[in-house]
Structure 1
């Protein structure tokens, strides 16, 4: 498998509870989405959702790279793919100015709509 970039914006970031899923991935850079989206917390405030259809602001996160099929399989499980999240490649800008295509998980906007706290838009998970 060739190496791919992964853009993470929530609990997979360094220092958060699900970062251990990325222990076999290499940190590349802090990053920001090239295009605008919107991010909201879950109603439990425990993790965020990235909403593809809302184009309001660039989202801050981190980029990792991996060639591990097992790691990607584990991320799909964690993210509830394809029911809770869908995945695709988007352009993200790295700190050095380079733009890369990175895998990202977007909220599946057809399911579990009551899981999103739409009252609290954000561009960075803290």
Structure 2
């Protein structure tokens, strides 16, 4: 990523995490480090991926990356922004404001809540069922 390009910090919490299937889209992005939301969100199990919604009481665990405009456009395509997920600025606990992909609450009716706020932990626990 060139420094001359416009960069955006993005919080990822599911299939874009390092080691997860969609992480390849972040190849070349700068890892800022681990991140955690303030306890104002809910993470839902949407089957093969999680969905983040505002207005909860959980702190969600993830990673923060700095991406350029082309990479952000690729992430928007993957997430179906703005028709499916909505890219929204959120405040992280102690790390400032970043962009995150949130799903509108009306799409989350009857979807199980991931109480731990951690997609990786949830997937491990789910495999043990």
TM-score normalised per structure 1 = 0.82
TM-score normalised per structure 2 = 0.80
Unaligned runs of 5+ in 2: 121-129
1:77 aligned residue = 77
1:30 aligned residue = 34
1:104 aligned residue = 100
Counting helix residues as a fraction of each chain, which structure ranks higher? 2
Query: 1:81, CA displacement in angstroms?
Result: 1.0
1:50 aligned residue = 52
Unaligned runs of 5+ in 1: none
Q: Partners of 1:81 and 1:109 in 2: how far apart? A: 15
Q: How many residues align?
A: 115
Q: Partners of 1:119 and 1:28 in 2: how far apart? A: 30
Match among 106, 119, 122 for residue 125 of structure 1: 119
Q: Partners of 1:120 and 1:90 in 2: how far apart? A: 20
Q: Which runs of 4+ in 1 moved over 6 A?
A: none
- What RMSD, in angstroms, separates the aligned Cα atoms of the two structures? 1.7
